[in-house]
Every structure is written in C-alpha cells, then in structure tokens.
Amino acid sequence: MKLDSGWIYLLIAGILIVISLIKDTGKTKKAFVTSAKVALTVFPVLFMIFVMMGFLESFVSKQTIASWFGPNHSFLGIIYGELLGSFAMIEPAAVFPFAGFLKLNGAGYGAVIGFVMSAMLIGVTHMPLEGQLFGVRFMVVRNLITFLLILLMGIVFMGVL
C-alpha cells in the first residue's frame, strides 16, 4: 500500500505542536490563532482556484495551453508564464496547484517556473505599495531585474529538468 505523504506531514506538524506546547502554552495558542487566520485566507482562495482549474479544463483544450506554454515554445513560453504570473493576483499557496495544473496540461518547466516566481515576486497588485514605500524608481528597477532573472532561471530549469 502506498503511504499517503499527507499523513507524514500531519505527523510532523503534530510533533512540533507537542514540542511547542511543552515549551510555551501561550505561544502555542497564539500559533493556533495564526493558523486559523492562514486557513481562512487560504481555503477560499484554493476553492476558487480549483473551480477555475475545473473550468479551464472543461473549456480550454490541452493543446491550447501547450501551444502557449509548451516546451516547444521554450523561450516565449517562459515569458508567457511570467506575464500570466504577474497578472495572476493569487495567494502564494494557490500558486502551486495552478502551476501543477499548467504542467499537467502540457506547459513546459520554463513556463511553470516563470509563472511561479513572477506570481510571488512581480504581482501588479503589489506595485502601488512598493512604489509608495520605496519610490517608483526602486519599484521599476526591482521588478524589471526580477523579470529578467526569472527568465534566466527558466532557461536553467529547462536545461536541468
């Protein structure tokens, strides 16, 4: 029988909770509150992403996804992945399920890493805050350099995986 890796992760989390409880009950209670907040943030987003994945699966053919993000389009595929990620506006936790969906539907590793990294680091929704905190020049330079280096990372991923 194949062992479900989910149980292993739960077991590890359980052990850590016990250790934390022994060390400091108050802090552990705080941790549970944080966990509840994270769960409340993550689950609805995941629900939406999973519905969207089902939707795309039904209405967009694998060939279409593969033709945009597929390994044959290597270099452009990375850029398309990055553009998708920059405008995706999704929680980090939802990035991986959607990236897995792209991979399953024929996207290449270059496009997948482009999507993952830019969804975390470039997201257009963060730009106003970044500009306000650090100045527009910082925001533009950081995002441009990040975009270019993700491209490089995509090339490495295509070569290695």
Partner 1 sequence: MKDSSSLHAGKHKNPWVKLIRSALLYIAIALAIWGWVALFSPAHVSDITKTVYLTFSKVIKIIIAVTLGIGLLQVWVTPEQISRILGKEAGWRGIILASTIPLILGGSLFVILPLVKALREKGARLAACIAFISAWSGKAPLLPLEIEFLGLPFGVLRLVLTIPFALVTGLIGEMVLERLGGESPKEIS
Nearest distance from residue 102's CB to partner 1, in Å?
Answer: 10
Nearest distance from residue 123's CB to partner 1, in Å?
Answer: 7
Span from 28-36, 60-68, 74-82 in contact with partner 1 (CB under 8 A): 28-36
Under the criterion CB under 8 A, does residue 124 sit at the interface with partner 1?
no
Nearest distance from residue 61's CB to partner 1, in Å?
Answer: 13
C-alpha separations of 128 from 70, 140, 141, 153 in Å: 32, 11, 14, 26
CA-wise closest residue to 28 among 46, 16, 10: 16
Which residues inside 60-89 make contact with partner 1, applying CB under 8 A? Answer: none
Which residues inside 38-57 make contact with partner 1, applying CB under 8 A? Answer: 38-48, 50-55, 57
- Please count the other Cβ atoms lying within 10 Å of the Cβ belonging to residue 83: 15
- Whole-angstrom Cα distance, residue 86 to residue 84? 6
